[in-house]
Amino acid sequence: MFITQGFTRANSFGKYLIGSLLVFIASAIGQVPLLIAIGIKSVMGGNVPSTETDIYKMFDSNLFLLLILLSFVCALAGLYFIVKGLHHQTFLSIITSRKKIDWKRVFFAFGIWFVFSAGMIIISYFIDDSEIKLQFNLIPFLILALITLLLMPIQTSTEELVFRGYLMQGFFNLARNKWFPLIMTSVIFGTMHIFNPEIQKMGYLLLVYYIGTGLFLGIITLMDEGTELALGFHAANNMAAALLLTSDFTVFQTHSIFKDMSEPALGLEVFLPVFIIFPTLIFVFAKVYNWSNWKDKLIGNHQDLPYLEDQEQFQDQM
């Protein structure tokens, strides 16, 4: 089972707490270039930014996106060394239970969600172009596309491997069941978005969407015994947001093709993915990959599961 691949006697839950702190520190180190750039801009402009909005206004959106995404490069590198050095596991063990990454799964999930997202944006534009404005500008968009293609998959993969890989296995080591890691990683993932600008605009009820998204990603990870589908979906979701549709109230403002001009409000489109679209996607994935044994994979209790005693046994399992 994917979730048990770190279940060794040496891997206490305390190690996962230390590892999570180290990933956070690595991410903070990756923010140093942004802090230096803010300092230079502040000195040159004679203005110290007091809000996130002030910081956004200091930079071209492409440069700001680049500086933000650099922190995830450091976080992913930190996670790699933590898994290898602190937990003595292969990095593959927090990605999948298969002998190697199934890239077909990654690209299948990416394709299905990117096409769906692009289709919905284009349909919305032609239905009512007063709320979605075409703002395509070739050169800034090409720079955005380059940054997005190179760094956005690193950002989304870091989040998936931390939550659906590393922490999912860590919480299993603590609880020895499936439902607790699924719930905990979903709630933590959702509440990590609490400081996003859209939460401030639309209210905390929007966390239902983020927690629901975490739950969806956790379910497909547990059912598929690996993070490949979650990796593809998350990359498609964020890349579509960066390249296709931006707004003044989302966490990233970009030189995307379209801009959402509507007033932010909690509506059906916020809850539709969680209660209709994501369950439909789960159904599609289940049919394509012949998922079974749902109860054990999602809420199974494994209190009597023996430890993998050492790294050699772990490698034998891999």
In which element (H, E) is residue 246 found?
A: strand 245-246
- Picking from 187, 249, 261, the residue whose alpha carbon sits closest to that of residue 218 is 187
Q: What amino acid occupies position 11?
A: N
pLDDT tens-digit map of 140-158:
999 999 999 999 999 999 9
Taking phi first (over 0 means left), then psi (-120 to 50 degrees means alpha), and beta for anything else, what does residue 293 get?
Answer: left
Strand partners, 134: 258
Domain ranges of the chain: 2-304
Q: What angle do CA 34, 251, 63 make, to 5 degrees?
A: 35
User: Is 312's pLDDT higher than 60?
Assistant: no
Query: By C-alpha distance, which of 185, 156, 181 is closest to 171?
Result: 181
- What's the whole-number mean pLDDT along residues 71-75? 97
Determine what percent of the chain is predicted with pLDDT higher than 90. Answer: 74
Which tens digit of pLDDT belongs to each residue from 227-282? 999 999 999 999 999 999 998 877 778 999 999 988 777 777 788 999 999 999 99
Using a cut of 0.95, tell me whether the model's pTM lies above it.
no
Nearest Cα neighbor of 240 from 143, 117, 123, 109 is 117
What single DSSP character describes residue 306?
A: P
How confident is the prediction for the chain on average, in pLDDT? Answer: 91
CA distance 101 to 237: 20
User: Are β-strands 245-246 and 132-134 bridged in parallel, bridged antiparallel, or unpaired?
Assistant: unpaired
Indicate the pLDDT class of residue 87, thresholds 50, 70 and 90. very high
Q: What is the dihedral of CA 75, 6, 170, 14, to 10 degrees?
A: -90
Q: Per-residue pLDDT averaged across 276-289, rounded?
A: 98
Partners of residue 301 on adjacent β-strands: 177
Find the angle CA(121)-CA(200)-CA(186) to the nearest 5 degrees: 75
Q: Which of 59-63, 121-125, 127-131 has the lowest mean pLDDT?
A: 127-131
Distance CA 252, CA 233 (A): 18
